[in-house]
Amino acid sequence: AGLPVETYTPSEVKAAVTGSGQAGKSQVTAMVTRLLGMDAPPRPADAADALALAICHIWRGGTRARLAAAEAAIRRGGAR
């Protein structure tokens, strides 16, 4: 469908969320819970991994670059 694909290693995701590429699953879960302001850890347990991957992608610029481009287009009077 023409969508770009990004890949991240487990250590990249762990480092993005916890600051350490060697973080354990409990550390990743705790940080995801804290970063997203959740009252309880995500369930099922694999949901924390998915959320950590999404956080990593956003922080690595995947979405940030698209948002910046959209904002620039709006300022130029293009897309709305």
**Token pair for residue 52?**
């950590």
Report yes or no on whether pTM surpasses 0.75: no
In terms of residue numbers, what domain contains 52? Answer: 10-75
| CATH number where 39 lies | 3.30.420.10
Q: How far apart are CA 19 and CA 76, in angstroms?
A: 37
Question: pLDDT 10s digit of each residue in the chain, 80 long?
Answer: 788 788 899 999 999 999 999 999 999 999 999 999 999 999 998 999 999 999 999 888 766 677 777 888 888 886 55
Kindly tell me the sign of the dihedral angle through the C-alpha atoms of 65, 66, 69, 71: negative
Indicate the number of domains in the chain.
1
Kindly state whether residue 4 falls inside one of the protein's structural domains: no
- Tell me if 3 is assigned to some domain: no
Nearest to 41, CA basis, from 60, 28, 54, 53: 28
